[in-house]
Structure 1
Amino acid sequence: METLPFTLPAFEPGWVWLVGAGPGDPGLLTLLAAHALRSADVVVYDALVDKGALALAAPGTELVYAGKRGGKPSPSQPSITASLIDFARAGKRVLRLKGGDPFVFGRGAEEAVALAEAGVPFRVVPGITAGIGGLAYAGIPATTRDTNAAVTFVTGHASTGEVPDGIRWDDLAKGSPVIVFYMALKHLQTIVDRLIAGGRDPNESAAIVASAATPAQRVVTGTLAALPRLCAEHGIEPPAIVVVGDTVTFRDRLAWWEPAGTAVERVTV
């Protein structure tokens, strides 16, 4: 890394840094994240971390895959957390690299609590979450002055894998002008049905952004009611975010980035 006009904190042996890698494009890494990658002895990384980001690690750095993907063999959360503690107690500089932001719909808080209880020192390095950065790469602003004074982030499934029970769907449908759902494809029809039953306009603009900020990015836009059908027709697969609200209409004017060789999918059904 070239010389900076300020000093970055030292990554000390025995510490764990919980670092967000952003939504996909490795260029969205923060300076602290890049510094951590160059300094770490061990990088424990998630499935959604771009390989370009891992390439920033110093030669000889131990890379440990800890990806958790729904329906696929994955390491358990307790085993991942235990490995972080064990590496740190062995005097390693441990980088826990997570897609997006560690504290937004991930296990970052759980891991931080476990480290604190184990007496392992840690630092949190926020990353750009997909609900902001992923939308930006799709040409969809999270907020605009003319459309919404609030935006709500919602997880599409609870720790059980089902639709979250603690959401007051009527209030959500009526109270938030723009809603961004993470991990919602599995239960997309149920989510759409609950929003409409709660008073949301079925003809409101909505979009799915899959593999946001990566060369595989795909964006499908349409009406809220049509979104589950469009998802199936276009073969959209996770990881993806779903956004509902008038800011989706800006995509027609603000679609500034499209991955090379991919078609622009705009549906207005």
Structure 2
Amino acid sequence: MTGTVSLVGSGPGDPELLTVKAKRLLDDADVVLHDKLPGPEILDMIPEEKREDVGKRAGGEWTPQEYTNRRMVELAEEDKDVVRLKGGDPTVFGRGGEELVHLAENGIPVEVVPGITSAVAGPAVAGIPVTHRDHASSVSFVTGHEDPTKEESAVDWDALAATGGTIVVLMGVGKLPDYTTALREAGMDPDTPVALVERATWPGQQVATGTLDTIVDVRDEAGIEPPAITVIGEVAGQRDRVIEFLRTDYGEASDESRADGGDDDA
């Protein structure tokens, strides 16, 4: 007998944003191999005896992908039902595609359970729509943390600057100076609004806003750290129009270092 591996997206972190199917599979699983990014409240829902941390953290703890691949196969071959739990959606910069192929090549039954991607949910809960009829008819999702073995970046910042619309960068707070400089050098207006959303939908969510020219200083002053999402484009300016009436359950420390030097939005 062989167990099944489910590649499950946990959404941005709020347990109420888990899908019904994700919750059922977590309850029924024999083992949950989880990343660092599922929210702490979601991980607390899983009995400790069936949780295994195989996460990665930039500049911190690191579980080799080869170990995770091997562990999924081993557990399934022991006839265990395994949930491979990832933050957001497993196929959006989550190596879900690689793990799907690896499991199939080893003859392991596998299913993919989509999750709400933080690339959309993070900006949304901060009052920022990634598309808008007046400001953005397209959106580009970009990773800020490419495979370090690549000889050069596969991200064409010149093309993104020319395309217009919204640019959403995941896992890119550390390289913020690099790509904001690249976009300015490619001709993007330095006054383009930019927002950073740290730990979206987690209890410690924080949002900071600025412009392409000021956002690095804003990041440093506000102390924004990973995991965080960067939103670049006119839609990032929509937050100012709704913040007074925006309700949130996430204990947000709102815009503590805004580019205009204004007061907190608490």
Q: Aligned pair 1:32/2:34, yes or no?
A: no
Q: Deviations over 1:150-197 (max 9, x none)?
A: 000001121108896122221111103110001111211110010011
Q: Which moved more, 1:34-43 or 1:168-177?
A: 168-177
Greater mean deviation of Cα atoms: 197-206 or 255-264: 255-264
1:196 to 160, 184, 187: 184
The unaligned stretches of length 5 or more in structure 1 are 1-11
TM-superposed deviation, 1:266: 6.0
Match of 1:71 in 2: 59
Tell me how far apart the structure 2 counterparts of residues 192 and 28 of structure 1 sit (CA, whole Å): 31
Instruction: Write the distance in 2 (CA, Å) between the matches of 1:140 and 1:152.
Output: 15
Give the match's secondary structure for 1:143.
coil
Q: Structure 2: state its 5+ residue gaps.
A: 261-266
Kept in 2: contact 1:14–1:120 (CA 8 A):
yes
* CA-CA distance at 1:249 after TM superposition: 1.5
> Are 2:31 and 2:82, in contact at CA under 8 Å, matched by a contact in 1?
yes
Query: Would you say how many aligned residue pairs link Structure 1 and Structure 2?
Result: 257
Higher mean C-alpha displacement, 159-168 vs 38-47:
159-168
Contact 2:76 2:108 in 1 (8 A): yes
User: Deviation per CA, 1:89-112, whole angstroms, max 9, x where unpaired?
Assistant: 000010000001100011111111
Is 2:120 the counterpart of 1:129? no
- The two structures have a TM-score, normalised by structure 1, of 0.90
CA RMSD of aligned residues (A): 2.0
Confirm whether residue 236 of structure 1 aligns to residue 224 of structure 2: yes
The 1:161/1:200 distance shift into structure 2, 3 A limit, reads farther
Task: Please tell me whether residue 44 in structure 1 is matched to residue 6 in structure 2.
Answer: no
Instruction: Identify the match of residue 138 of structure 1 among 126, 129, 150.
Output: 126
Residue type at the aligned position of 2:17 = L
CA distance in 1, matches of 2:96, 2:6: 10
Match of 1:20 among 2, 9, 30: 9
1:178 and 1:247 in contact (8 A); partners too: yes
| Cα 1:162/1:69, change in 2 over 3 Å | farther
Give the letter aligned to residue 40 of structure 1: A
Mapping for residues 75-90 of structure 1, pairs under 5 Å: 75-90=63-78
Give a deviation string over 1:131-165, Cα, whole Å, max 9, x none: 10111111111111111110000011211088961
Of residues 85-94 and 143-152 in structure 1, the stretch that sits farther from structure 2 once superposed is 143-152
The correspondence for 1:225, drawn from 213, 219, 226, is 213
Instruction: Compute the TM-score of the two structures, normalised by the length of structure 2.
Output: 0.91
AA at the equivalent of 2:79: G
User: CA 1:107–1:184 in structure 2 vs 1: closer, same or farther (change >3 Å)?
Assistant: same
* Preserved CA contact (<8 Å) 1:40 1:61: no
1:180 pairs, out of 160, 164, 168, with: 168
- 1:210 to 1:163, Cα distance in 2 relative to 1, 3 A: farther
SS of match in other structure, 2:145: coil
Displacement, 1:257?
A: 3.6
Structure 1 residues 140 and 26: CA distance shift in structure 2, 3 A = same
- Partner of 2:253, secondary structure, is coil
Identity, in percent, stands at: 42
Q: In 1, distance between residues paired with 2:204 and 2:149?
A: 25
- State how far apart, in whole Å, the 1-side matches of 2:179 and 2:225 are: 17
Measured against aligned partners, the alpha-carbon deviations of 1:210-263 in whole angstroms (never above 9, x if no partner) come to 111111111110111111111111111110010111111111233324433734
1:265 to 245, 251, 256: 256
Relative to structure 1, the CA distance from residue 104 to residue 163 in structure 2 (aligned partners, 3 Å threshold; closer, same or farther) is: farther
Q: Output one character per residue of 1:40-59: Cα deviation in whole Å (capped at 9) or x when no partner.
A: 111111111123223444x6
Structure 1 residue 167 corresponds to structure 2 residue 158: no
- Structure-2 change in CA distance of 1:26 and 1:224 (3 Å): same
